[in-house]
Amino acid sequence: MSGALLAIRGLEVAYGHIAAVRGVDLEVGPGEFVSVIGANGAGKSSILKALVGVTPLARGSIAFAGQEIGGLPSHRISRLGLALAPEGRGIFRAQTVEENLLLGAYARLRAGDRAVAADVEWTLGLFPRLRERFRHSAGLLSGGEQQMLAIARALVSRPKLLAVDEVSLGLAPAILDQLFAVLSQLNREGLAILLVEQIASRALAVTNRTYVVEQGRITLSGPSRTLAADPRVIEAYLGAPLDDGARSAQEARP
């Protein structure tokens, strides 16, 4: 893809002698919504950890917005416009919702950016439940509210690309409906999103393109609506074709 916002080439990640990611190539274009699906332990989260500088690369390259970022520390990658809502939420439980959001905008605040308050207000509009709990300790929030906070905290950094790791982890379907609706809205407004997700039906229903990871390798990739009808994906990850609601959401994608 020419002009890709994110271009990963030959990525390898290892933990000691154990290879977690093996020669992965992956791209996200400006304004795209791309998902990575696969079973537990397939290497999905390791790709994101390498992307944001949490885990070192064993080999390969990562280019973001035309700049090589492989090997850069996380704080420098964040300042380039790549934000992560991590698996397990990673919120600061002893801090309030407000403090968590301001920590997400730490680099902007240090630079004297006066638009942070407006962006915090914008995220509260996306997630009204956070407004109700604005002064509460984050550790008192429900699991769904904590996931909302993790996404909102990433958004206040004003990313060019939002990476989200396992948004569905431990959450009820009704909460997932809200979260995926917000992610879809953000993407329609122009934000590029890279979603790692174990519930394949959810990911395939809302994204433009999908990569399937098995044992650290990309085994399939293509338009999400095409993969949703692929017998190999149905057998391994769906169990049945997408239901009418998910199919309608997918057909609404550009």
pLDDT score at 88: 78
Q: To 5 degrees, how large is the angle CA 114–CA 111–CA 193?
A: 80
Q: How many domains does the chain have?
A: 2
Q: What is the pLDDT along the chain (254 residues), one digit of tens a residue?
A: 558 999 999 999 999 999 999 999 999 999 999 999 999 899 999 999 999 999 999 999 999 999 999 989 999 999 999 999 988 778 989 999 999 999 999 888 888 888 999 999 999 999 999 999 999 999 999 999 999 999 999 999 999 999 999 989 889 999 999 999 999 999 999 999 999 998 999 999 999 999 999 999 999 999 999 999 999 999 999 875 555 555 555 555 55
Shared domain for 57 and 96, answered yes or no, is: no
pLDDT score at 89: 77
pLDDT score at 129: 94
Shared domain for 109 and 24, answered yes or no, is: no
Shared domain for 72 and 171, answered yes or no, is: yes
Last residue of a domain, which of 97, 126, 158? 158
Q: Could you tell me which of 65, 69, 67 has the C-alpha nearest to residue 52? A: 69
pLDDT score at 53: 94
pLDDT score at 250: 56
Q: Which residues of 3-31 are buried (b: 16+ CB within 10 A; e: fewer)?
A: ebbbbbeebbbbeeeebbbbebebbbbeb
Shared domain for 171 and 245, answered yes or no, is: yes
Last residue of a domain, which of 129, 158, 187? 158
CA distance 191 to 28: 11
Q: Are the CB atoms for 193 and 34 separated by under 8 Å?
A: yes
Q: Give the DSSP H or E segment for 28.
A: strand 18-28
Q: First and final CA of the chain: distance in angstroms? A: 17
Shared domain for 148 and 165, answered yes or no, is: no
Shared domain for 133 and 35, answered yes or no, is: no
CA distance 26 to 5: 11
Shared domain for 241 and 167, answered yes or no, is: yes
Other Cβ atoms less than 10 A from the Cβ of 129: the count is 16
State which residues form the domain around 21.
Answer: 1-81+160-254
Q: Are the CB atoms for 163 and 194 separated by under 8 Å?
A: yes
Q: Could you tell me which of 35, 6, 2, 7 has the C-alpha nearest to residue 250? A: 35
**Beta partners for residue 164, in sequence order:** 85, 195
Shared domain for 114 and 32, answered yes or no, is: no
pLDDT score at 246: 52
Shared domain for 65 and 94, answered yes or no, is: no
